[in-house]
A = this chain, B = another copy of it.
């Protein structure tokens, strides 16, 4: 089943609003068994909306349109649909009555503009809006290819509420058959290329209904998504389980989670379960690791704090790094990383101390230690280690990659893999 999405709004074209509706709908349609083939964004313009819908309606099973349903002059989606389908805009008396009651209850006059929200292209059905005024609209065009047309308000929480309320209903009307299952493997500590090599044989020998997608990201690490389409839910699950088993065998502990898991949460859960507390000492990351740790609600239970020791004098005074180590090995060294980790562990009274020191760039590189050279340190009362990373020439990317590697180091340590 193929879906296409048409999002309407000048603010999306001008970039003053990011199109989060399209992402939300894409994910939700995927779960409902639709493959979203295309998203088209146009402005509040009759012809542009008509053209976008027309090019989708003949070749899809469902067209979802968001935006342009409100009462202001530039909300023209309904008119565009009426023009396209050669029907009139008519008042739906039930919707009109609902709106009248709703406005009166809130002590607001039922103006002509507000009444216009009760109009819909003839043949469309209203899906009432549980959290706002403009209803959604639904229509099934019969023909060589039956196609549903779902029209939703552009306000994200109203759009979501209507989809959540009517998803089953839409499925019934379109007599959906195909199921789509998917599982996303979240990894840290490996590049996209290397990960692809590891699962290459699975990609090459996959069943035609199985699809792989690699999604690299400095913050989440590389994600590997496996999807399976099938008319038979049990068969789809068997396929997905078989492929997932193979992926798990190959990736092992590189995988920190699945689907909507978040590395910060995973690390937090591990710390909480193990009863261990964490302190950080950051140089090149400038506080980003602590920022990510504290993005988790309740992190105060296991996170003591952090010293951002940007200046060498702070490394000595607040972390107890030795002048000897700084002079002999330099601030960017395994030795200093370990001393920073030990220092924050002791001074902040935590069980685990983790540190990062490196050259984020663009300045500060040397032939020996080019921009992108980073050391992570880890210290507990019985163990010390340092890891060297070779990252990129981009400052903000280096900060993010280092923070992800540090979170992964904590994860692996608590899991006793390192």
Chain A positions within 8 Å of B, measured between CB atoms, are 10-20, 22-28, 30, 35-43, 48, 52, 55, 70-74, 106-107, 111, 113, 131-132, 157, 184, 192-193, 196, 203, 213-215, 223, 225, 280, 282, 285-291, 293-295, 297-300, 303-311, 313-314, 317-318, 347-349, 360-363, 390, 392-397, 399
Asked if B36 and A14 sit within 8 Å, CB to CB, the answer is yes
Interface of A is mostly: mixed
Q: Which of A41, A70, A288, A318 has the most CB of B within 10 A?
A: A41
Complex CA distance for A348 and B311, rounded to whole angstroms: 9
Listed residue (A16, A37, A40, A41) with the most chain B CB atoms within 10 angstroms of its CB:
A16
Taking CB atoms, residues of chain B closer than 8 Å to A349 are: 313, 317
Q: How far is the CB of A306 from chain B (nearest CB, A)?
A: 4
CB distance from A44 to the nearest CB of B (A): 8
For this chain, the copies found in one complex come to: 2
Residue in B closest to A182 when the chains form the complex, CB atoms:
B14
**Which residues of B sit under 8 angstroms from A399, Cβ to Cβ?**
291, 294-295
Q: Which of B71, B305, B390 contacts A314 (CB 8 A)?
A: B305
Task: Please indicate which of the listed interface residues A52, A303, A310 has the most CB atoms of chain B within 10 Å of its own CB.
Answer: A310
In the A-B complex, list the 10 residue pairs whose CB atoms are closest, starting with the nearest. A286-B294, A287-B287, A287-B290, A15-B27, A15-B26, A306-B308, A39-B41, A15-B23, A305-B314, A287-B291
Q: Is the CB of B16 within 8 A of A193?
A: no
Q: Are B291 and A286 in contact (CB under 8 A)?
A: yes
Pairwise interchain contact A184-B19, C-beta atoms closer than 8 A? no
Smallest distance from the beta carbon of A213 to chain B beta carbons, Å? 5
Nearest residue in B to A158 (C-beta to C-beta)?
Answer: B394
Q: Judging by beta carbons under 8 Å apart, are B11 and A15 in contact? A: no
A260 vs chain B, min Cβ distance (A): 10
Name the B residues within 8 Å of A287 (CB-CB): 282, 286-291, 294, 306, 308
**CA gap between A40 and B52 in the complex, in Å:** 10
Q: How far is the CA of A23 from the CA of B9 in the complex (A)?
A: 12
Q: Are B12 and A26 in contact (CB under 8 A)?
A: yes
Write the nearest CB–CB distance from A74 to chain B, whole angstroms. 7
Contact pick for A306, options B38, B307, B396, CB 8 Å: B307
Q: Which of B19, B314, B396 contacts A19 (CB 8 A)?
A: B19
